[in-house]
Structure 1
Amino acid sequence: MKQGFLLLLTCFFISCGGSDAPKPPDVAMLVFPEKNSECTTGIPIAGSNSSLVTFRWQASNHTESYTLRVTHLNLNTTETVVVTGTTKDLPLEKGAPYSWQVISKNTVVPTTAISETWFFYNTGTETSHAPFPATISSPKSGSTVLRDLNNQVLLTWEGADIDNDLEGYDVYFSTVKPPQTLAAKLNANSPQIKFNVAADTVYYWQIVSRDQEGNTATNSVSEFKVR
């Protein structure tokens, strides 16, 4: 009798046990066009200055759909398309720089997963290219940070140029948005700098990347608050 009761009790807990909680999607890994590259595989579109470029990424777990975002960096315009697979063809202007990212989604949780952002040029007739906009490493925009013992914060970023002639960076840093103060001029081997900061203050910063041909690229304004 006792064994039968225990068996019924076990079955009760098994039948009433909840299923696994819904899981958010994982981040998709980008494949092509490659990071900081020149895409040369686009198919020319007759009668236009565009070519058809294929975007590819790896499937991510717990994902039902992907939102592909492709930004024309010169025009600051973004095309957004939703797909259920892991590839999409888009017509892009030849010779123009682009960024792209993929957002993974499902219908069981509101949380999304955002991939890295990669830069590339869609090949054209140009022989000289502007640098890609600098990618902020830290502090991340919108974050709150602590000062070090010297009341300073370290700013770091990454720069790239497909012509391999990146010359340096102009760093704008201020408590005003957008920052108008040129706080430092650095060479290409020094993608970091420390600034004195005050507590309970919001700072804005922006990087202008320069190459040896005089081409420049400016990234978006980033901000952080010092605790």
Structure 2
Amino acid sequence: MKKLIFLFSLIILLPNCSSDSDESGNEQQTTQNPTASKLIFPFENSLCNVGTNITSTESTVLFEWESSANTDSYELELTNLTTGDTSIHQSTETQTPIVLSRGTPYSWYVISKSNAITETAQSAIWKFYNAGDAIESYAPFPAEAISPAMAESVRVTTNELILDWRGTDVDDDIVGYDLYFDTTATPEIIANDIEESTFSVSIASNTIYYWKIITKDSRGNTSDSGLFQFKIL
């Protein structure tokens, strides 16, 4: 009986050595999500005139960004804002050279990826113009829809809605906007030479609307935002 009591006491006094582990006895570590990277170059809303000129129509630009935590590789998504074409560039480094068309606007962002999990993190989206020969002024960047956002469903209590957009230009000489707005995918112009980047429109419930913005600068250059749409509930 004394032996049984002694053994029972040992069991109680043994330290708790358990830890999070799998069936094989290996300790499990918590995997953290990647964090978003911060872009470095080409600069936001800028004229990029640094690069290796391959031909009169193309140049190679070195894209750079900061490293992000819990990240094994990066995916750079680059969009030609003139054609709308998008390309994907994979890298395990924080920079990659890409051949670009000269005298062309682009947007880009970087996705941080981990080999351990499927979760990713996206950086901010930056726009820039890749410089071209003998170009003294550049067309504005295509306007971005702020509100309503693309494909957004909107619930309103009145028959008026304010459209809100953002226009940017490396020359900083935007003089106005033309607004196209309708219930068809080929909207008609309803206002031109708008000086502000907002405009109030009449709307009806249970209706899909389409709109776009033509941005104009002081040199007569223009850019087309492409078609936006939203639905009034």
Which residue does 1:181 correspond to in 2?
188
Q: Is 1:98 matched with 2:103?
A: no
Pair 176,6 (structure 1): closer, same or farther in 2 beyond 3 Å: farther
Shift of 1:93: 2.3
Name the residue aligned to 1:201: 207
CA contact (8 A) 2:187 2:210 kept: no
Q: CA deviation at 1:184?
A: 2.4
Give the corresponding residue for 2:49: 40
2:150 alignment partner, one of 141, 146, 154: 141
Map of 1:15 onto structure 2: 20
Deviation at 1:141, TM superposition (A): 1.2
1:118 maps to 2:123:
no
Residue identity opposite 1:54 in structure 2: L
Match of 2:160 in 1: 152
Q: TM-score, normalised by structure 1?
A: 0.83
State the shift of 1:112 in Å.
Answer: 3.2
Residue 123 of structure 1: how far off its partner (Å) = 1.6
Q: What is the CA–CA distance in structure 2 between the aligned matches of 1:159 and 1:22, rounded to whole Å?
A: 40
- 1:87 aligned residue: 95
Q: Sequence identity of aligned pairs in percent?
A: 36
Would you say the 8 A contact 1:146–1:153 is kept in 2?
Answer: no
- C-alpha separation between the residues in 2 aligned to 1:38 and 1:108? 38
Aligned residue for 2:20, secondary structure, equals helix
1:214 to partner: Cα distance: 1.8
Q: Which runs of 5+ in 1 are unaligned?
A: none
Partner of 1:127: 136
Q: CA deviation at 1:97?
A: 1.9
User: Alpha carbons of 1:132 and 1:146: their partners in 2 closer, same or farther (altered >3 Å)?
Assistant: same
CA distance in 1, matches of 2:119, 2:228: 24
Stretches of structure 2 lacking an aligned partner (at least 5 in a row): 1-7
Contact 2:34 2:68 in 1 (8 A): yes
Note if contact 2:105-2:129 (Cα within 8 Å) is conserved in structure 1.
yes
User: Would you say the 8 A contact 2:210–2:229 is kept in 1?
Assistant: yes
Quickly say closer, same or farther: Cα 1:211–1:49, change in 2 above 3 A: same
Residues 54-73 of structure 1 mapped to structure 2, 5 A cutoff: 54-73=62-81
State how far apart, in whole Å, the 2-side matches of 1:195 and 1:19 are: 57
Amino acid aligned to 1:146: R
1:142·1:224 contact (CA, 8 Å) conserved in 2? yes
Question: Cα offset for 1:40?
Answer: 1.6
RMSD of equivalent CA atoms: 2.7
In structure 2, do the counterparts of structure 1 residues 213 and 64 end up closer, same or farther at CA, with 3 Å as the change threshold? Answer: same
Say if 1:122 and 1:11 are closer, same or farther in 2 by CA, change over 3 A.
same
Q: Structure 1 residue 191: deviation in Å? A: 0.7
Tell me the amino acid that sits aligned with residue 216 of structure 1: T
Name the aligned partner's letter for residue 218 of structure 2. Q
Equivalent-residue separation in structure 2 for 1:108 and 1:154 (angstroms): 44
Q: Does 2:57 match 1:52?
A: no
Length-normalised TM-score, structure 2:
0.81
Query: Aligned residue pairs: how many?
Result: 221
C-alpha separation between the residues in 2 aligned to 1:40 and 1:81?
Answer: 21
Q: State the secondary structure of the residue aligned to 1:15.
A: coil
Contact 1:201 1:226 in 2 (8 A): yes
Matching residue of 1:210: 216
> In the alignment, what sits opposite 2:173?
165
Q: 1:172, 1:4 → 2: CA distance?
A: 80
